[in-house]
Every structure is written in C-alpha cells, then in structure tokens.
Amino acid sequence: MADKLSRRILLIGKILRFLERHFFDPKLKQSLVLALEESKAIRNYSAGDEVICFDIGANRGQTIRLFKEIFPNCKIYAFEPHPNIFKTLMSSYKLVKGVKCFNLAVGELSGKFPFWVSPLDEASSMNLPDLDSTWNRKKALILGINPKKMYKKIDVDVVTLDEFTSLHEIQAIDILKIDVEGGELQVLLGSRSIFQEGRVSIVQYESHDDDLRPSQQIQIETLLAGYGFVEYSNIKHSFGDFSDKIYIKRG
C-alpha cells in the first residue's frame, strides 16, 4: 500500500511539473524578459552587466533551469531547506556555472525553526496550513492521504536575506523570486535593509487565493509599494487557485 501511495504521489508531482513547464513557464519567461529590460532602462544598465537572481524555495531547480534558459550567464543563489530535496537539487546543479545552492530556508529571523514537510514536496512550508481547510482536504483526497497527516515537522536552518547578502557581500539583486508556500511576507520582512537601500530591482512571488492560510496579499502589496515597487504582471498557474506576481521597482 505504501509503495502504491508513493507511486501515486510521484506521478502527480510529475504531471504538475509537466503542466508548469509547458503552460506556465513560457508566459513567465516572457514577463521576466520584459521586466528586466524595463528595469535595466530605469537603472541605466549596460547590456553586459551580470544578472543576479535569487531563488528562494528552489525545490528541484525548476526556476534555476528557467533563469538559465532566459539569462544563460546569470548568477543564481538558490535556497532549499528540505534536506532530501536539496540533495536532488545539488545532484542537478552543483556543477552548473554561476549556480550556488544553500540548504537553508529564508525568513524574517535567523536560527533553527520548524519546517512542515508535505508528501508533495513542492507544498512543504515554514507555515503550517489549516488542515481543515477545503483546499487541504481536496489535496489530501487527490493524493490519497488523511488530511490530518499531510504534513510532518522537521527543523531547518533559517537565514534572513539581510544577513546573507551582508555575509556574501552581494550589492544588488536583479530578480528576487520567492515561492515559499505562505511565507513570502516573512522573507520580505527579513530583507528590510536591502529594500530600503534600493538593492532589489524585480520581485517575483507566488500568491495564493485558497483557504490554506490567511492571505498576506495586502501586507505584501503595501510593503512593496512603500519601497517603490509596482505590479508589472500577474501570471496564473496551470492548476490551482494561485499565480505568480512580478513587481518592478520604479520609485
């Protein structure tokens, strides 16, 4: 029974990643290219300047692949806290030029904190969802799991972007991608200094409209607006009730 359940979850994960790559990624690529062109014009970049990308919630490296397809010479800092998924990430990208992977979560505070692991690893999160929510029950039904047993707790190391960029002497981030299943606001709150200093050009983050967790959308929009960012595009995913929003710094 366990092997059958594992095969089912593996198959569902492969289907979802196939849909994303062939239906969502092309639209995201187009938006990122246009957003970066506009950002470079605003900041008076030259064509040869290096593109610095941060991938917060790298999972298996789906966004790393996408970044490298769009910007072959970009430098990528990728963060994935799940220890087993991080091994998969490293097996694919540890030798890829310009890619550095870190077995860390990113949040508002640094330290060691609980991380909630889902059988569908893309849904793992620092923020435990409402297990009684409609969307959690629906996902559990699709996966063939008891809704109350959808997540298991482990402890992971967490860093703030302010601390990380200071430690690694990173002066600017062209694209900051955040996909941390409900912890996007916490990532931004741990990045106050780099935003206040104008060191981030583009923010791409995943926005959920389901009932898994209380919405943070208003707080995120208000925070970004305060740093001079405006919404550039909103790209709906190929399944579920969520989208990726791209914000560009204009102020």
Strand partners, 158: 105, 111
Lateral strand order in the sheet of 152-159: 105-106, 152-159, 111-117
pLDDT at residue 4, as a whole number: 66
pLDDT at residue 5, as a whole number: 61
Count the domains in the chain: 1
In terms of phi and psi (left: phi > 0; alpha: psi -120 to 50; beta: otherwise), the region of 122 is alpha
pLDDT at residue 99, as a whole number: 98
Instruction: State pTM to two decimals.
Output: 0.93
Two tokens at 97? 């030029």
pLDDT tens-digit profile, the chain (251 residues): 457 668 887 888 888 888 888 888 999 999 999 999 898 777 765 545 689 999 999 999 999 999 999 999 999 999 999 999 999 999 999 999 999 999 999 999 999 999 999 998 989 999 999 999 998 999 889 888 999 999 999 999 999 999 999 999 999 999 999 999 999 999 999 999 999 999 999 999 999 888 899 999 999 999 999 999 999 999 998 777 789 999 999 97
Q: Which domain holds residue 53?
A: 2-249
pLDDT at residue 2, as a whole number: 53
pLDDT at residue 18, as a whole number: 84
Find the angle CA(39)-CA(43)-CA(45) to the nearest 5 degrees.
Answer: 90
**CA proximity to 115, closest of 133, 131, 129, 128:** 128
pLDDT at residue 1, as a whole number: 45
The CATH number given to whatever domain includes residue 18 is: 3.40.50.150
**Rg of the chain on CA atoms, in Å:** 18
